[in-house]
Every structure is written in structure tokens, then in C-alpha cells.
Amino acid sequence: MCGIAGFFDPRGFNSNEAEKLARRMAYRVVHRGPDDSGVWVDGKSGIALAHQRLSVLDLSPAGHQPMKSPSHRYVIVYNGEIYNHLELREQLGGVAWRGHSDTETLLAAIDAWGVSATLEKCVGMFGFALWNRKTQSLTLGRDRLGEKPLYYGWQGRTFFFGSELKAINAHPEFLGEVDRKALALSLLFSCVPGSFSIYKGIQKLTPGTFIEICDDGDLPEP
């Protein structure tokens, strides 16, 4: 498993400070991926992506994340495994592959087919955050069975995401207000069910779905 985290502020921010914050968030999930770490920040666009890597399919630096697509349109942080990624490579045809990771396969597929069509073809377990440099939008996606966790939500003017709540909690703008409804459900069911999290304004992405964030518009309530 790997760990992903990051934040998006449409107003933009200082890249140096954002990089420090992104690394702090990634360090909170270092246990998920102790082999490598990486951060990608665009202060003008207001996006910061962080990754903790557990090397499985490609042990070389070619599997380093955050990773850019062949066209440089997309940047991704990804956690999981796509079991049929070699089949997808065959379908993609003449791509000049740099390595053997399924992350690279996923990016090339999105570059060629788009997010929705790619996810329909993918068989595996995964959670990812994808930044589209052309449309200035962030897409979060999760596998059909929901094996890989992914939390997200707005806190003020900043949108957060992470494999675990402790990653989001590392950012100083995270409010950390307990959701009383989620707390009641936890006491009733001995877990926090569905798309709820214990924190107000932070949700779990439901299995088999993806969302696109372009600004600070409203997100659906759990």
C-alpha cells in the first residue's frame, strides 16, 4: 500500500510553504509507504500533491510519484494496484514507456481515453488524486470495492484529501470539528458508516465513484 495526501486552494499560495505542509501531511502516513516520498506543488494554481510509496510493481525511480502523464497535462498521486494494467498497455499501443508501474499505465490511459472510460476498464484496488493542468481541476477516484480509503472535503477555502484522516489533520487550516451525527452513528454501529467521517466537512469517497473539484463550490452532504 501507499499513502496519498494534498490540498487545493483556488486562491493560490506560496509554493515553498505549501511544499513544507504537503511533506508534513505525507509524513503522517509514512507507515503506508516507507520506500520513497515525493511532493508536487503549483502555487499559482493552488494545488499540492504528496505521496508515500511502497514499491511493488516497479522498484526503480521510474515509479516515483507524484507522476506526470506523457502529455504533461496530468499529475497523479496513486495508491493501489491495477491487476490488468499489462492488458491496458497492449490496448494503448505505441506509448514510450519509462518503467513498469501501473501508475504510469493509469496516467497514459487517462491521457488517451479520459478518466471515466479508463476507470471502466480498470480492474483492481486503488485510490488516486489527479490534477488536470489544462482545466485546473482535481479528480479523486476510488475502486469499486472501496479497498483503498480516501477522505476529502472543504475546510473554509481549502480542499483537503488523504488516505487517512491523520494526513489531513496535519494541515494548520484543518478545523477538526467533530461531526455529531457521525459520532452518534459510531456509537450506534461501532463504526463510522457510509460516506461519513468523524470530522465535520470531511467525507469518505464512496466505492466505485470519482469526483471533480474545480473551485470551492458545495459538495454533497453524506
pLDDT tens digits along 96-126: 888 888 999 999 999 999 999 999 999 999 9
More confident site: 220 or 176: 176
Catalytic, 2? Answer: yes
Is pLDDT above 60 for 151?
yes
Q: Are 31 and 77 in contact (CB under 8 A)?
A: no
CB-side neighbour CA atoms (13 Å) of 76 = 29
The C-alpha atoms of residue 175 and residue 160 are separated, in whole angstroms, by 11
Q: Are 111 and 69 in contact (CB under 8 A)?
A: yes
What is the sign, positive or negative, of the torsion defined by CA atoms of 65, 80, 72, 135?
Answer: negative
209-to-73, 150, 157, 197 alpha-carbon distances in Å = 22, 11, 24, 17
The residue written with cell numbers 480516501 in the block is: 150
The C-alpha atoms of residue 172 and residue 190 are separated, in whole angstroms, by 29
pLDDT in tens, 23-60: 999 999 999 887 878 999 999 999 999 999 776 655 66
Q: Are 57 and 82 in contact (CB under 8 A)?
A: no
The C-alpha atoms of residue 203 and residue 63 are separated, in whole angstroms, by 29
Is pLDDT above 90 for 91?
yes
Active-site residue, selected from the candidate residues 2, 122, 191, 214: 2
Please report the pLDDT score of residue 70 as a whole number.
83
Please report the pLDDT score of residue 199 as a whole number.
96
Please report the pLDDT score of residue 221 as a whole number.
44
Q: Are 118 and 110 in contact (CB under 8 A)?
A: yes
Is pLDDT above 90 for 62?
no
pLDDT in tens, 185-219: 999 999 998 899 999 999 999 999 999 998 755 45
pTM: 0.92
The C-alpha atoms of residue 159 and residue 119 are separated, in whole angstroms, by 23
Is pLDDT above 70 for 222?
no
